[in-house]
């Protein structure tokens, strides 16, 4: 039972990581590098959108991702009863 719980917790963690890393990849490598020319056709305030992602947007999204991951994991830790104190 204990082992099964640990395995389920780990699988749930891996799912979270993969989801968040997909976003991480999309904003930096996707919007900031691979699709930058296409996105630069779009104007976002005073920025070309691709350029904005590369020099501003990606960093903001990274920050949001870490905060969301930390929050989701705190919930997951409690749900599977593996939290500290």
Please report, as ranges, the residues that interact with other proteins according to CB under 8 A: 6, 9-10, 13, 17, 20-21, 24, 28-29, 32-34, 36, 40, 44-48, 51-52, 54-56, 58-60, 62-63, 65-67, 69-70, 73-74, 77, 82-85
Minimum distance from residue 15 beta carbon to other proteins (Å): 12
Judge contact between 13 and 73, C-beta under 8 A: yes
Shortest Å, Cβ 22 to other proteins: 12
Q: Which of 54, 64, 52, 56 is nearest to 23 (CA)?
A: 64
Minimal distance, residue 1 CB to other proteins, in Å: 14
Angle between helices 2-25 and 58-79 (to 10 degrees): 170
Closest Cα to residue 80, out of 9, 16, 3, 12?
Answer: 9
């Amino acid at each position: 039972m204990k082992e099964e719980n640990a395995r389920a917790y780990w699988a749930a963690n891996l799912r979270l990581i993969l989801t968040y890393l997909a976003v991480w990849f999309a904003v930096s490598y996707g919007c900031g590098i691979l699709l930058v020319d296409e996105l630069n056709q779009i104007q976002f305030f005073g920025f070309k959108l691709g350029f904005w992602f590369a020099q501003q947007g990606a960093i903001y999204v990274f920050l949001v991702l870490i905060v969301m991951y930390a929050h989701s994991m705190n919930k997951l830790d409690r749900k599977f009863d593996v939290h500290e104190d």
